[in-house]
């Protein structure tokens, strides 16, 4: 073998060793095929949900258009409501509007007033957790009459269906508990020509 052939063989051997070394210390990287990211739209969860509530109200009732001898009376009621949105709800209320009467000597007339109402409530935000409220509904009103006039004993129940309107304010203690103040008007109460007013303060609990 000539010197030229020996040098060629040595060069090939060196190149093979170098290639093997590179393959050992720098292996070919393996790449995986990644499927494209599939984006699925998820709408945001609403921060408000329809819910029921219960309210307990107490205050005073009066007949604004009757003589001053007819005194004001304590009044109270229980309300069940359901909120369809932050602005609107419906309410079913049972109210005891108190007892009152007039007397002259041996003659007297007294009556106890009650009402059952179904109302739509509208709300408008005022800021700082306060709301302005308005009420429009139908009321079944009644007055249980007792008395004695001209030696005759009177007893009976007067009732009628009429409108109820009102307005008020409501403020939140927490997400589930709030207070409210209302003025409600019952025109032609129990079939009379008189309007019954109820001024009340109440507590509302939402579920």
For the chain, the domains span 51-206
CATH 2.40.160.20 fits 51-206, yes or no: yes
Strand pairing report for 130-149 and 107-127: antiparallel
Distance of alpha carbon 115 from alpha carbon 195, whole angstroms: 13
3-state secondary structure of 29: coil
Distance of alpha carbon 58 from alpha carbon 35, whole angstroms: 66
Q: How many CB atoms lie within 10 A of CB 190?
A: 24
Mean pLDDT of the chain: 83
- What's the pLDDT score for residue 52? 97
Q: Which pair of structure tokens corresponds to residue 126? A: 């005022």
Distance of alpha carbon 164 from alpha carbon 160, whole angstroms: 12
The region that residue 4 occupies, defined by phi over 0 for left and psi between -120 and 50 for alpha, beta otherwise, is: alpha
- What's the pLDDT score for residue 107? 77
Are 118 and 125 in contact, with CB atoms under 8 Å apart?
A: no
The residues of the chain scoring below 50 in pLDDT are 23-26, 29, 31, 33
- What's the pLDDT score for residue 63? 84
Q: Which pair of structure tokens corresponds to residue 103? A: 């007397």
Distance of alpha carbon 18 from alpha carbon 21, whole angstroms: 5
Residue 7 makes CB contacts below 8 A (sequence gap 6+) with none
Distance of alpha carbon 100 from alpha carbon 81, whole angstroms: 29
């Amino acid at each position: 073998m000539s010197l030229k052939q020996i040098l060629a063989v040595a060069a090939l051997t060196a190149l093979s060793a170098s290639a093997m070394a590179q393959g050992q210390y720098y292996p070919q990287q393996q790449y995986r095929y990644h499927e494209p990211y599939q984006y699925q739209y998820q709408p945001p969860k609403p921060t408000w949900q329809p819910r029921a509530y219960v309210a307990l109200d107490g205050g005073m009732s009066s007949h604004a258009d009757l003589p001053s001898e007819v005194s004001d009376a304590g009044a109270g009621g229980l309300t069940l409501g359901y909120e369809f949105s932050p602005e609107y709800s419906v309410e079913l209320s049972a109210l005891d509007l108190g007892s009152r009467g007039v007397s002259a000597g041996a003659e007297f007339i007294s009556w106890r007033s009650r009402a059952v109402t179904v109302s739509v409530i509208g709300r408008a935000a005022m800021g700082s957790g306060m709301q302005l409220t308005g009420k429009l509904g139908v009321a079944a009103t009644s007055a249980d009459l007792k008395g004695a006039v001209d030696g005759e004993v009177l007893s009976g129940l007067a009732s009628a269906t009429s409108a109820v309107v009102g307005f008020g304010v409501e403020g939140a203690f927490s997400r589930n508990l709030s207070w409210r103040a209302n003025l409600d008007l019952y025109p032609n109460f129990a079939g009379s020509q008189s309007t019954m007013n109820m001024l009340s303060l109440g507590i509302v609990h939402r579920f």
